């Protein structure tokens, strides 16, 4: 077994088991400035970094301090992210966030993991940067949204496959859905559903079917003529039949006919905009080694011990997300039971901390010694609850060492608040990321 590529002086791991993903060995990292030094002098977007301190209660209840860096570390003005990311998902982060950490903390060929994968922002960005993508999400939609974009097809192949599908042969015609769709559109959607379910049952789903399924899911309902439905809420929040009836009455609208294959092809063209030959080449080199899981993040035995170089993730927050209500229509299309999906959404902070501590234990297991976790916590309770303070003890309880807190603030000339930066209410976009490192190996 080859020695671990990372700094083995900090820990001794058991032999790394054979990886099911055929991981490429990491290149030896080039010597570089430490992240702390880089953040301190960072000035790429014209602002100097401000250094603060975040405190939290350590294991012995003594206060501990972590260096905290505030600046505009990535920005909307920066080089646009790949068009492949342009899939909506509730509470997704921008690709620039994982990119910032992947570029600084990993080498091509190393494994980058997101235990709360969502639409797959980290996973896709990792793959685009030549890292081996690994992801997990309890929501089965996450896999449907992520996997096809790791192996994007060619436009002409999508067009050809769409021509082979019979869009006028449904098995069902759920009349309730006529509040969203014109009868011809509903027939086409139900026919596509039947085709995809039959392909799945025959274990014949290929990359083109996966792609068409993703696109159909993405176009199902929305607020513009680019979607299959009449005007409704954005695609992340399917409304009930009753609410849609009211929307239709209020707006005096009836669902117009939509060309399902044409809309799939149009969105395909948009998504593939940046898919040039080098992009396809890099994706093709890592996608076959990807590992994407649909299960709770706290138990992922498929991921070997000490195999992951970096985790970039954003957990479910303390808000109330009713999965079944939000996803009933997409689950209908996929033939899934929306009520069977149980997301982790504790409403109380201590229950959330307990759930996150469990996940951190699992992350500690899968991380290489020297590997990092970049844990993004968003705004909750209108910025009154500081989740970075709440999350620090969870990582520490799992044996991880807090390195720093990074606050990315995109407009930070506004009125200062308690972090010295303006919050969402002031019109800024703030991400707070707690960075942990695995320095010890607790395995016997």
Ligand X SMILES: C[S@@+](CC[C@H](N)C(=O)[O-])C[C@H]1O[C@@H](n2cnc3c(N)ncnc32)[C@H](O)[C@@H]1O
**Angstrom distance (rounded) from CA 183 to CA 192:** 14
- Closest distance between ligand X and the C-beta of residue 303, in Å? 13
Q: Residue 124 or 208: which CB sits closer to ligand X?
A: 124
Closest by CA position to 431, among listed 120, 113, 93, 44: 93
**Comparison of 137 and 388: residue with beta carbon closer to ligand X:** 137
Query: Shortest approach of ligand X to residue 358 CB, angstroms?
Result: 9
Binding site for ligand X (CB under 6 A): 89, 91-93, 116, 118-119, 121, 136-139, 142, 296-297, 314, 316, 343-344
Question: Is the separation of the CB atoms in 109 and 130 below 8 Å?
Answer: yes
Which residues is 112 bridged to in the sheet? Answer: 133, 310
**Virtual torsion, Cα 26, 30, 36, 38, nearest 10 deg:** -130
Which residue has its beta carbon closest to ligand X?
Answer: 118
Q: Between residues 184 and 379, which has the closer beta carbon with respect to ligand X?
A: 379
DSSP state of 202: T
Strand partners, 68: 52, 405
CA distance 349 to 296: 19
Nearer to ligand X, 34 or 80 (CB): 80
Pick from 171, 131, 151: nearest CA to 24: 131
Q: In angstroms, what is the minimal distance from the CB of 2 to ligand X?
A: 31
| Least separation in angstroms between CB 60 and ligand X | 29
Tell me whether residue 21 or residue 293 sits nearer to ligand X (CB atom): 293
CB of residue 121 to ligand X, shortest distance in Å:
3
Percentage helix, strand, coil, to 5, in the chain? 40, 15, 45
Coil, helix or strand at residue 111: strand
Identity of the residue, 95 or 261, whose beta carbon is nearer to ligand X in the bound complex: 95
Shortest distance in whole angstroms from residue 256 CB to ligand X: 31
d(CA 308, CA 106): 10
For ligand X, give the closer residue by CB, 145 or 239.
145
**Which one, of 142, 121, 141, 124, lies nearest residue 133 by Cα?**
124
Closest CB 116 distance from ligand X, rounded Å: 3
């Amino acid at each position: 077994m080859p020695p671990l590529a990372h700094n083995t002086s900090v820990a001794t791991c058991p032999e790394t088991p054979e990886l099911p993903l055929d991981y490429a060995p990491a290149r030896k990292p080039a010597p570089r400035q430490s992240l702390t030094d880089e953040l301190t002098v960072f000035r790429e977007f014209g602002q100097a970094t401000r250094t603060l301190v975040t405190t939290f209660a350590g294991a012995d209840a003594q206060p501990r301090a972590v260096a905290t860096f505030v600046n505009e570390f990535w920005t909307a003005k920066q080089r646009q992210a790949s068009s492949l990311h342009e899939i909506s998902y509730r509470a997704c982060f921008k690709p620039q966030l994982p990119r910032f950490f992947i570029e600084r903390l990993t080498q091509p060929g190393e494994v980058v993991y997101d235990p709360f994968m969502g639409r797959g922002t980290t996973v896709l960005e990792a793959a685009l940067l030549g890292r081996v993508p690994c992801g997990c999400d309890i929501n089965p939609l996450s896999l449907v949204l992520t996997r096809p974009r790791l192996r994007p097809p060619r436009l002409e192949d999508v067009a050809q496959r769409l021509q082979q599908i019979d869009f006028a042969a449904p098995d069902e015609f759920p009349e309730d859905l006529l509040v969203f769709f014109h009868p011809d559109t509903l027939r086409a959607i139900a026919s596509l559903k039947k085709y995809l379910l039959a392909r799945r049952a025959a274990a014949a789903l290929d990359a083109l079917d996966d792609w068409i399924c993703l696109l159909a899911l993405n176009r199902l309902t929305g607020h513009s003529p680019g979607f299959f439905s009449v005007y409704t809420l954005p695609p992340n929040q399917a409304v009930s039949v009753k609410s849609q009836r009211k929307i239709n009455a209020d707006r005096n609208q009836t669902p117009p006919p939509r060309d399902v294959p044409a809309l799939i092809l149009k969105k395909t063209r948009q998504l593939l905009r940046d898919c040039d030959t080098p992009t396809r080449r890099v994706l093709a080199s890592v996608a076959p080694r990807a590992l994407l899981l649909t299960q709770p993040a706290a138990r992922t035995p498929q991921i070997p011990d000490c195999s992951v170089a970096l985790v970039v993730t954003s957990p479910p927050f303390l808000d109330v997300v009713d999965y079944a209500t939000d996803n009933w229509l997409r689950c209908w299309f996929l033939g899934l039971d929306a009520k069977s999906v149980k997301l982790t959404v504790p409403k109380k902070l201590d229950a959330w901390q307990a759930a996150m501590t469990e996940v951190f234990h699992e992350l500690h297991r899968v991380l290489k010694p020297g590997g990092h976790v970049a844990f993004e916590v968003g705004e909750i309770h209108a910025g009154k609850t500081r989740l970075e303070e709440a999350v620090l003890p969870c990582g520490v309880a799992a044996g991880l060492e807090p390195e720093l807190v990074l606050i990315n603030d995109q407009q930070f000339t506004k009125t200062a608040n308690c972090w010295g930066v303006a919050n969402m209410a002031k019109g800024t976009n703030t991400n707070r990321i707690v960075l942990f490192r695995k320095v010890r190996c607790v395995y016997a």
